[in-house]
Amino acid sequence: MTSSVLDNFPPGTATLLEELDKKLMVLLRDGRTLIGYLRSVDQFANLVLHRTIERIHVGKEYGDIPRGVFIVRGENVVLLGEIDAAKEYNLPLEEVTVDEILDAQRREQENKQEQEKLLAKALKERGLQFNADLSHDDLF
C-alpha cells in the first residue's frame, strides 16, 4: 500500500487540497462572501486566498471590493465552492460601483434595524421581549 500526502490530513481537509489554485467562493459566518484563488490550506481548514474580492449583494445588484491576499480561519467558513468560469459572467445581477453597493447595503441595514425596532415594540406591547443582538450561535 502506498502513502500519499493526503493520508496525513483528515478526510474533509484532504479534499480541500484538490481545490488548490482554483477560483473559489467562500461564505463566512458573518455573512460576507469572498471570491479568490485558493493558495494554501492546513489541517484546520484555514485558507489563504489570493486575488480575493469581497462581493456584496443587495437585491439584484452586486459590487466587488478588492481585498488581495486574505487569510480565513477554518472555523469561520460556512460554505465553500468552486466558481464555474462559464457561468461567472452570465450572472442575473447588475454590477454597480463599490460606492453604490455600499450605499445600498447601508440602506438595507437601516431598513432591517427599523423593522427590528417595530417588531420589538409590537412584542413589548404583548409582554414579550425581543433581542436582535443575539446571533444564531448564541441561541444554541
CA distance 47 to 16: 9
Mean pLDDT (whole number) for 20-29: 94
43: domain CATH number?
2.30.30.100
CA 56, CA 65: separation in Å to the nearest integer?
8
Residues 10 and 63 in one domain: yes
Q: Please state the pTM of the whole predicted model.
A: 0.73
Q: Report which of residues 6 and 117 the model is more confident about.
A: 117
pLDDT in tens, 69-124: 999 999 999 999 999 888 877 878 999 999 999 999 999 999 999 999 999 888 88
Do 139 and 107 belong to one domain? yes
Within this chain, do residues 83 and 101 fall inside the same structural domain, yes or no?
Answer: no
Distance CA(10)–CA(138), nearest Å, equals: 28
**Residue where a domain stops, chosen among 79, 95, 111:** 95
116 shares a domain with 82: no
Contact 24, 35 (CB under 8 A): yes
- What are 32-57's pLDDT values in tens digits? 999 999 999 998 889 999 999 999 99
Q: 69: domain range?
A: 1-95
Tell whether 65 and 121 lie within a shared domain: no
All cell numbers assigned to 15: 479534499
SS3 20: coil
